[in-house]
């Protein structure tokens, strides 16, 4: 299905935005901490044409028989349902969060297509949000920069979609650059592009999609966020970003065991992000493997967001020569990543697939990704 087949004419322009892989820094974003994601070479494309009325119509390749409609005069989360909320929510958030005046704007016909896997922890949702946000901002001539658009995407996902996520995914999708990671301070929103230099070092990132789908809007993610907020309140800090590794002994005395372990993950994960940036700059990507593994162990044991399939993927990759491996994304399913030598990629992929078969799990989808450019106008 294409834009032309749905609407009967050709689109005026196409925008695209990538999914993301988070190299390290999981669940730290909504704790005002640090993250280190990169945009990937899997993209969502929004084909768009402006209308003469105030209607936004949305269709997609993954729901080819449905066209969702909403007037700019009726924008409200209560009127948004299903995946189309990722599009309508952006228009609403541009008005509500960024203060855009939409009173004299016309609507759009929008068609979404994507090769970012859904439910794999690669942020297919942010890819939609960021491509649409850049398109609407350009076509409505709103003059908003990409850091503002990241906030718009997060606001939409939190309040229109109902998923309590941080700002990492949108920042990676909007600010990513080729063969580089985005070092993001989620409190100040200061960003720095750090060379990843995988190509020069003969390395690749292997994504192992367990095909165990997760849903951020459901309980597990929210429960972890609630634990973090409770921990910060007891410790008397604005956010867990303000707790250091040296503070953990005191935290253990004040918190119940579960809340302490949630706090310990965030505090040590923030430190691992800082250590990874320093290591990349000083020693290159081959030196970060132990940090990736420590991150996975923390998510498995302290934050308890891994699943057996993710653990098997990480363990098998490491046993077969990966430099480092960890689950990536919000958890409760999704994907693991493995940093691998280019010549060892197929061996590790084959070993992981065989291990899943032996365990009776669904066959994983295994593929490489490369750090890529962020959201852009394509045509």
> Which residues form the catalytic set?
169
Report the alpha-carbon distance of residue 359 to residue 136 in Å, rounded: 47
Q: What angle separates helix 308-319 from helix 289-301, to the nearest 10 degrees?
A: 160
Using an 8 Å Cβ cutoff, are 334 and 220 in contact?
no
Q: Which of 31, 40, 20 is nearest to 271 (CA)?
A: 31
Q: Report helix, strand or coil for 331.
A: coil
Q: Assign residue 202 a region: left if phi > 0, alpha if psi is -120 to 50, beta otherwise? A: left
Distance, CA of 265 to chain centre = 19
Hey, what are 355's tokens?
Answer: 């291990």
Hey, what are 221's tokens?
Answer: 């993610």
Report the alpha-carbon distance of residue 159 to residue 3 in Å, rounded: 28
Using an 8 Å Cβ cutoff, are 20 and 39 in contact?
yes
Q: Report helix, strand or coil for 255.
A: coil
Handedness of CA 305, 307, 309, 311 (dihedral sign): positive
């Amino acid at each position: 299905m294409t834009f032309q087949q749905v609407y009967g004419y050709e689109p005026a322009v196409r925008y695209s935005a990538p999914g993301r892989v988070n190299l390290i820094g999981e669940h730290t974003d909504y704790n005002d901490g640090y993250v280190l994601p990169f945009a990937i070479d899997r993209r969502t494309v929004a084909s768009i044409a402006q209308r003469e009325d105030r209607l936004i119509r949305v269709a997609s390749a993954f729901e080819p028989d449905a066209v969702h409609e909403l007037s700019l005069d009726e924008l409200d989360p209560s009127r948004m349902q299903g995946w189309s909320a990722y599009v309508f929510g952006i228009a609403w958030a541009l008005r509500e969060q960024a203060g855009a005046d939409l009173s004299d704007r016309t609507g759009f016909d929008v068609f979404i297509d994507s090769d970012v896997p859904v439910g794999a922890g690669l942020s297919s949702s942010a890819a939609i949000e960021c491509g649409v946000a850049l398109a609407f901002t350009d076509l409505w001539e709103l003059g908003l920069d990409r850091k503002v658009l990241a906030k718009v995407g997060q606001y939409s996902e939190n309040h229109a979609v109902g998923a309590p996520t941080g700002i990492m995914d949108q920042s990676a999708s909007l600010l990513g650059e080729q063969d580089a990671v985005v070092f993001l301070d989620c409190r100040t929103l200061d960003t720095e592009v750090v060379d990843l230099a995988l190509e020069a070092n003969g390395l690749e990132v292997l994504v192992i999609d367990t095909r165990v789908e997760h849903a951020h809007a459901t309980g597990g993610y929210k429960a972890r966020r609630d634990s973090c907020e409770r921990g910060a309140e007891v410790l008397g800090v604005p956010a867990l970003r303000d707790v250091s590794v040296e503070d953990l002994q005191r935290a253990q005395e004040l918190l119940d065991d579960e809340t302490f372990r949630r706090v310990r993950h965030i505090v040590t994960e923030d430190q691992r992000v800082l250590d990874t940036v320093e290591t990349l700059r000083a020693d290159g990507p081959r030196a970060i493997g132990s940090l990736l593994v420590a991150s996975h162990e923390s998510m498995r044991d302290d934050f308890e967001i891994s699943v057996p399939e993710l653990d098997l993927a990480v363990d098998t990759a490491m046993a077969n020569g990966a430099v480092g491996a960890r689950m990536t994304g919000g958890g409760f399913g999704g994907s693991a990543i493995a940093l691998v030598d280019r010549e060892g990629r197929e061996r590790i992929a084959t070993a992981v697939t065989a291990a899943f078969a032996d365990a009776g799990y669904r066959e994983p989808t295994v593929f490489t990704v490369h750090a890529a450019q962020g959201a852009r106008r394509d045509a």
